[in-house]
Amino acid sequence: LFSAVTLAPRDPILGLNEAFNSDPRRGKINLGVGVYFDEGGRIPLLQATCKAQQSLLATPAAPGYLPIDGLPAYNQCVQHLLFGEKSELLQAQRVVTCQALGGTGALKIGADFLKTLLPDAVVAISDPSWENHRALFGGAGFKVQGYRYYDAQSQGVDLAGMLEDLRALPPRSIVLLHACCHNPTGVDLDADDWQVLISLIKERDLVPFLDMAYQGFAQGIYEDAEVVRLLAGSGLTFLLASSFSKSFSLYGERIGALSLVCASSGEAERVRSQIKRVIRGNYSNPPIHGAALVSTVLGSAELSALWQQELTQMRGRICAMRQMLAARLGEQVSGRDFSFITRQRGMFSYSGLSAQQVDRLRDEFAIYAVGSGRICMAALNHSNLEQVVSAIAKVL
């Protein structure tokens, strides 16, 4: 049965982790994977979740099955965070939100559901994008193609190219959009760009699917959800995959959500029933713990405020590292402008390092980055920054 099975390539990012872990060199640095590390190089256990954990432990309960679409209190908190407590869409019961296994699980449920509605649709993803987008939508049976996004010349968005490529898509194509903190480039659309894009989506009858894995890492929880409010106000129906892996530092709990904005409450009820069917056929129902933690935090004004403070600290630390990296590289490498590092948002910097330079960083300096030149700003700290600066200066 298995004799003809060939060896699959490693995931370009998670595979790097495996290589990093088995590297025996002391002082090695992992700037590959998109995970937030604190100044001490550890994944932080947030105080807000720690307190939520304690209160959950005080009232132990056997883990029965959750409803197919997840913990109701959790789904409600998620809706408030994404759409705002006073959202007209929520009041009109036009939004279906289902707990999902991280942002990845939300994308997968959304993709499987869309496949039943639009079996022949093209899925358009940004060039470049998170590698897993292609795998997820390709795996759900869609043809996946890229649209122009990053402009290496200006180190910004190629908006004209993006619009041209989206305009050329057949109606009812699915357009995957990074809501904020674009992975891997760190380059986002601004509010005016989003408005232009939304008009085009309407005009061309495209299906927007937002991916928001880094809410809170650009400017703040509210600010980073701007595109969600713009789409909500546009009258369009759309899908939104969201995740608490990064913003709550709950990577291994696999906690996220899929939200679907529908045209009416009746439509929402029918959509929910079909989404539940997709979930049932995949994993039946989701695990409890992550949802219990997040809803305990978001359901408490005090813990929620504490969480926002901790998130603000994470964001601030990344910005400080951006400033330091740009400044120190500017001092070490003459004749080059590194200010683009401070303009990029979220966890990553698209550094412009070539694949060869990334190889040299790994082979000669034990510094791991993604082959595309993406480096994780959240893995830098005051102890490793100089080592990274001097290695980058040497390979440049």
DSSP code of residue 352: -
Please report whether residue 344 would count as binding ligand PLP according to CB under 6 A: no
Q: Which of 103, 186, 286, 290 binds ligand PLP (CB under 6 A)?
A: 103
Active site residue 130: yes
Stretch touching ligand TYF by CB under 6 A, among 10-18, 192-200, 296-304, 357-365: 10-18
Q: Which of 14, 50, 117, 263 binds ligand TYF (CB under 6 A)?
A: 14
Please report whether residue 215 would count as binding ligand PLP according to CB under 6 A: no
Please report whether residue 70 would count as binding ligand TYF according to CB under 6 A: no
Percent composition of the chain: helix, strand, coil (DSSP 3-state, to 5): 45, 15, 40
Active site residue 246: yes
Residue 360, number of CB atoms within 10 A of its CB: 17
Active site residue 194: no
Q: Which is nearer to ligand PLP, 180 or 329 (CB)?
A: 180
Angle formed by the axes of helices 191-203 and 159-167, to 10°? 10
Smallest distance from the beta carbon of 212 to ligand TYF, in angstroms? 12
Q: Which of 87, 132, 249, 351 binds ligand TYF (CB under 6 A)?
A: 132
Please report whether residue 245 would count as binding ligand PLP according to CB under 6 A: yes
Please report whether residue 243 would count as binding ligand TYF according to CB under 6 A: no
Angle formed by the axes of helices 301-332 and 47-58, to 10°? 150
DSSP one-letter string for 200-261: HHHHTT-EEEEEES-TTSSS-HHHHTHHHHHHHHHT--EEEEEE-TTTTT-GGG-EEEEEEE
Q: Which of 51, 69, 112, 130 is catalytic?
A: 130
DSSP one-letter string for 274-293: HHHHHHHHHTSS--SHHHHH
Residue 329, number of CB atoms within 10 A of its CB: 20
Helix (H, G, I), strand (E, B) or coil at 360: helix
Smallest distance from the beta carbon of 253 to ligand PLP, in angstroms? 9
| CA distance linking residue 306 with residue 49, whole number of Å | 9
Q: Which of 37, 83, 130, 194 binds ligand PLP (CB under 6 A)?
A: 130
- Which residues make up the interface to ligand TYF (CB under 6 A)? 11, 13-14, 33-34, 130, 132, 183
- Which residues make up the interface to ligand PLP (CB under 6 A)? 34, 102-104, 130, 178, 183, 211, 213, 243, 245, 256
Residues recognised as catalytic: 130, 211, 246
